């Protein structure tokens, strides 16, 4: 091991790593080392570039954990979408996942069905309703539904028929965080940081796989260029514009409002 150079270093590292008793870890690290070394050889990585990469990763790691900067990095590189797509082993008809579940760090406000989950926000209102069911069409009663919109997170529970409904400010296009190393990377790549209008849902129920997904607004200009590659055709929805008047919650609106109906289909937990 004393005569290491650019032609022998890869095999030396792999030999050292084979000492692990964890077969999957050995498989992962073997592939990782081989691809990393091949990457460095392919682009003839310079010392300055290597130091720049290390510095970038250090900045990502220095971001407070509640901002999930490494998750965002995975998203904008398309890695999150790749991993989700590889692991989308669900029965036909189940709602597609678009993002990894990240537990909300701030306190989550619990709302009754039908509540306005973000009354502090202005703009047109959207009234959302639907049913949580399984792939056979049966309702999933009392599913917990986390909803994230404009940075706020709310919690609802479906009723005994799996039905849910709430109102919210109509979502609009939004940017990923304006500051931070990942946003700087997007700028250096001449990529925009915009995401199409959406609501994020994380739905869980006993006996079912958790679903974390996003429902998008038809007609948004960023549907074909989402900064984190999260859009799926099955999740693009039409918000129906309604004239001023009676609202679905039994109230009255002096302005136009929007309605959306969307059902979620959960996959059962695989047998142990």
Domain presence at residue 242:
yes
Compute the C-alpha angle 8/56/86, nearest 5°: 75
pLDDT at 89: 82
Query: How far lies 25's CA from each of 15, 17, 29, 38, in Å?
Result: 14, 9, 6, 20
Whether 90 is covered by a domain: the verdict is yes
pLDDT for the residue numbered 226: 97
pLDDT in tens, 62-119: 999 888 999 999 999 999 999 999 988 889 999 999 988 887 666 678 899 999 998 8
Q: Which residue has the tokens 């022998």?
A: 8
If you search the block for the tokens 């006993």, which residue do you land on?
206
Residue 1: the pLDDT is 59
Total domains, the chain: 1
CB 10 within 8 A of CB 37: yes
Whether 74 maps to a domain, the answer reads no
Residue 209, domain extent: 84-266
6 in the Ramachandran plot: left (φ > 0), alpha (ψ -120 to 50) or beta?
alpha
Q: What pTM, to 2 d.p., does this model score? A: 0.90
Residue 36, C-beta contacts closer than 8 angstroms, at least 6 positions apart: none
pLDDT digit string, tens, across residues 112-136: 999 999 888 878 999 999 999 999 9
Is 129 within the bounds of a domain?
A: yes
How many CB atoms are closer than 10 A to CB 165? 18
The CATH code of the domain that includes 223 is 2.60.130.10
Rg (CA), the chain: 23
Please name which of 192, 72, 93, 194 lies closest in space to residue 138, comparing C-alpha atoms: 93
Q: Give the pLDDT score at 3.
A: 80
| pLDDT (0 to 100) of residue 120 | 81
Q: Is residue 67 left, alpha or beta, with left meaning phi > 0 and alpha meaning psi from -120 to 50?
A: alpha
Residue 14 maps to a domain: no
**Average pLDDT per run of 10 along the chain, which is 272 residues long?**
85 92 95 97 97 97 92 96 91 93 74 91 92 96 92 91 96 88 95 96 96 96 97 97 95 95 95 71
């Amino acid at each position: 091991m004393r005569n290491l150079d650019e032609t022998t270093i890869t095999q030396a590292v792999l030999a050292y790593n084979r000492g692990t008793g964890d077969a999957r870890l050995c498989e992962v690290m073997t592939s990782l080392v081989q691809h990393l070394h091949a990457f460095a050889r392919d682009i003839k990585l310079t010392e300055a570039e290597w130091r720049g990469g290390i510095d970038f990763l250090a900045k990502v790691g220095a971001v407070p954990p509640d901002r999930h900067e490494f998750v965002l990095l995975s998203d904008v590189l398309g890695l999150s979408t790749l991993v989700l797509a590889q692991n989308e082993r669900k029965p036909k008809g189940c709602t597609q996942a678009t993002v990894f579940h990240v537990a909300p760090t701030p306190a989550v406000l619990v709302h009754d069905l039908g509540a306005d989950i973000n009354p502090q926000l202005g703009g047109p209102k959207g009234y959302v309703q639907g049913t949580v069911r399984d792939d056979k069409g049966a309702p999933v009663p009392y599913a917990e539904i986390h909803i994230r919109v404009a940075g706020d997170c709310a919690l609802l529970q479906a009723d005994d028929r799996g039905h849910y409904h709430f109102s919210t400010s109509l979502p609009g296009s939004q940017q990923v965080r304006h500051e931070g190393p990942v946003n700087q990377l997007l700028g250096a790549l001449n990529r925009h940081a915009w995401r199409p209008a959406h609501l994020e849902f994380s739905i869980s129920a006993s006996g079912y796989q958790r679903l974390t997904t996003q429902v998008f607004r038809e007609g948004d200009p960023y549907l074909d260029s989402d900064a984190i590659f999260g859009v799926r055709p099955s999740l693009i929805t039409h918000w129906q514009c309604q004239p001023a008047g009676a609202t679905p919650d039994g109230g009255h609106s002096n302005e136009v409002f929007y309605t959306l109906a969307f059902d979620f289909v959960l996959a059962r937990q695989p047998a142990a």
